[in-house]
Amino acid sequence: MHGFARREFTLMLLRRMADYQPDLVVEAYTRLGARKADYLAAFNRWQTMLRSRRAPQGLDLLHAVLGPEDHLHPLRLGDVTATVCHWRLPLWPDLRWQAIIGAANVVIDGTLVRTPDTPAPVLPEPPDLTPWSCVVADTLARWPDAHQVNPDVASRWLVETAGHRLWFTHGLLQLVE
């Protein structure tokens, strides 16, 4: 792997998803023309860039890796205005990588989200949800009484609703308990 671009970024995202859905990850990296070694190398390289003093940081790193954003808009958070940036990724045509950017181009949050022009899927009851079928916002729209729990791992998220726990990695559903 010589460069790091949207394909490699997508491969990097798969690393944490493999903790929950290894079979889906194999299918996904194969569709991208990659091997297990490629997605592991992409993850390791991303981690190295995040910790490097010489690599760009924050939004500059995302621009270096993903190129210019496909869409951006301001987001008012109390007295502060952040910027929401979206990038297309090759694996999920109806989703975008969303980064919320704060002061000094610091990345506050990054996650997969549904595109605004794509309708949310009709979601069955939690026991019938399938992995990779929805993003966090889809579940919160479907079950307004759901509440989010922030686990200790930055790439993971938990939504509790109707007596079930929905586990997400990078914003994409992985597991229902």
Q: At what angle do helices 6-17 and 36-51 cross, to 10 degrees?
A: 100
What pTM was estimated for this model as a whole? 0.93
Res 1: pLDDT = 39
Which pair of tokens denotes residue 51?
Answer: 């910790």
Average pLDDT, the chain: 93
> Beta partners for 174?
none
* % residues pLDDT > 70 (the chain): 98
- Report, as an integer, the average pLDDT of 4-23: 95
Higher-confidence position of 65 and 4: 65
**Distance from C-alpha of 35 to C-alpha of 20, rounded to nearest angstrom:** 18
pLDDT at 93 over 60: yes
In a 3-state reduction of DSSP, which class is residue 125?
coil
Res 3: pLDDT = 54
- Contact in structure between 172 and 20 (CB atoms under 8 Å): no
In a 3-state reduction of DSSP, which class is residue 10?
helix
Q: What would the pLDDT profile of 116-165 be if each residue is shown by its tens digit?
A: 889 989 999 999 999 999 999 999 999 999 999 877 777 899 999 989 99
